[in-house]
Amino acid sequence: MAKRPKSNQRSRTGDFLAILLLLAFLGLFSELWWREKHPAVKSPTLTKQITANIPAAPVVVPPAVVTAPSGILPTIPPPVHPTPQPPVIAAPIPSSAVIPPPTAIVPANINPTEPLPNASGFPRPVHGGLELQVALARWGISPGSVDGAVGSQTHSAIAAFQRSHDLPVTGIFDSATKSALTLDAPLLTTYTISRDDLDRLQPLGKTWLEKSQQSALDYETILELVAEKAHAHPALIKQLNPDVDWKHVKPDTAVKITDITYPEIADKAALVVIHLADKYLEAFDEDTNLLVHFPCSIATRVEKRPVGELHVQVVISHPNYTFDPAVFPESPEAQAIGHRLVLSPGPNNPVGVAWVGLDKPGYGIHGTPAPEEVGRTESHGCFRLTNWDAEYFAKLAWIGLRVEVVP
C-alpha cells in the first residue's frame, strides 16, 4: 500500500489548531459582550448595613456657667469653671523662635510726631514699634511702659495676643499678626495740665522716716504724672513734647500723650496665672478667654517665690504701707529705725495705688512708684505691676479668686 505524503498530515494538524484558536476567541468575545450588557450591581443590603454601623456624632453638652461675683465679697469661695491650664498655661514662646533685636522692628530714630500713611482712616495697619505697643495695650495686653522700643516685654505681649487669637505663637510681629492687629483710633491725644495736677505735686522724702511723716506720697513732678496717665515712659513724653519746659509747666499747658484705654470690664476674672520665668501675669474669664497680660516683677531670691495655688484675700485701692525693718535686713537705715512705720497712700507709696493681698502672709500683687522698672528689677517677694495695671487688675479681682503661680 502506498504511504500518504507527510505534507497532508501536517496540513490537517494545522487546520485543527486553527479551529481551536477560533473557538477560544469566540468564547472570550462572548464573555466580554455579556459583561458589557449585564454590569454587576452592588448589594443594597450590604450598603445599608455599613451605613447603619457608623456611630452618630456625639452631642457636646457645654459646661455649666458660673458667674464670678459682681463685687468683692469676703465669703465667696473660688468659682467653678473649666480648667484652663492645658490650653493656656503651657503656651510660652517656643524656644526655637528667633526673636529679632529691637532694630528689626523699631526705626533707629523714632519720631511719633511725623504723619503716618492713612493717618485719618481707622482701623488701619500698624506702623512701627510705638503703634505696635499702643495697639497691644488697647487690648489689655501690656508691653510695659510704652516707649516705642520693641524689647522682651513687647515680644511677650505679641505672644499673648497670638495665643488669644489662635495664631502661631512666635512672639514676632509676623504677617499673620499684622493682619489681625490693627490701630483702631489715632495714636496720640492731647492732655491739658490742670491747676489741680500741679497743686498735688510734692517732694518725696529720701528716707523711710521722712516718707512716714508725709501726708501723701504723691507725684514729685508733672512729667511723672503725665507719663503714668499715658502708660508711657517719661522719656517718650519728653520726646513727644520737645518744646515743653517740664520744670516750669503752667496750668492749661496742652501736651501730646499716647492714647491708651483698657477694655471696659464686663465681669470679674475667674483665674490668674503668674509666670515666674517670663515675669508676667495673665487673668482669664470663666471661658478661659484672656482678659489681661501684664509684665510683673518677682522676688529676687528663689526661695521667696511661691509656686502653686494661692487665693486673693483682700483688695485695697490707694493703700497705706507698713514699713517693717525685719523685711529689709540689708538696709542699715531700717535696722537703725528698729520699729514699724506707716506710710501714707499715693502713687509713690511702695505698693503704689492698689494692693491685692494673697492668702500667703506678706504676699500680694500691687503697684510701684517706678513703673518703667517693672519686669526688669526684682522684689522682696511680692508681684509688682505698673500703677495703671495694678489699678485695673484690682477691679478684676475678688475675695477667693484663684491665683496659680507657675515656674
Largest CA distance in the chain: 156
pLDDT tens-digit profile of 245-261?
999 999 999 999 999 99
Q: Given this model, what pLDDT does residue 231 score?
A: 98
The per-residue pLDDT for range 275-310, each reduced to its tens digit, is 999 999 999 999 999 999 999 999 888 888 989 999
Is it the case that residue 120 has pLDDT exceeding 70?
no
If one compares 1 and 155, the residue with the highest pLDDT of the two is 155
241 Rama class: left (phi>0) / alpha (psi -120 to 50) / beta: beta
Q: Where do the domains of the chain lie, and which CATH numbers do they carry?
A: 85-90+123-187+262-318+353-406 (2.40.440.10), 189-258 (3.10.350.10)
Q: Which residues contact 199 (CB under 8 A, 6 or more apart)?
A: none
Residues 6+ positions from 287 with CB-CB distance below 8 Å: 81, 82
Q: What is the pLDDT of residues 337-368, one digit of tens each?
A: 989 999 999 999 999 999 999 999 989 999 99
- At 43, which amino acid appears? S
Q: How many DSSP H helices and E strands does the chain contain?
A: 12, 14
Q: Give the range among 51-60, 165-174, 326-335 with minimum mean pLDDT.
A: 51-60
User: What single DSSP character describes residue 165?
Assistant: T
Which of residues 151 and 51 earns the better pLDDT score?
Answer: 151
| Cβ neighbours of residue 162 closer than 8 Å, sequence gap 6 or more | 168, 169, 170, 171, 176, 177
Instruction: Name the most confidently modeled range: 11-20, 103-112, 163-172.
Output: 163-172
Please give the residue that has the higher pLDDT: either 82 or 393.
393
Query: Does 86 have pLDDT greater than 50?
Result: no
Q: Distances in Å between the alpha carbon of 367 and those of 15, 137, 228, 372?
A: 112, 17, 12, 12
Distance CA 326, CA 230 (A): 36
Residues 6+ away with beta carbon under 8 Å from 7: none
Distance of alpha carbon 99 from alpha carbon 301, whole angstroms: 28
Whole-model pTM?
0.72
Scanning the structure block, which residue is given the C-alpha cell 500741679? 198
Q: What are the residues facing 258 on neighbouring strands?
A: 188
pLDDT in tens, 185-211: 999 999 999 999 999 999 999 999 999
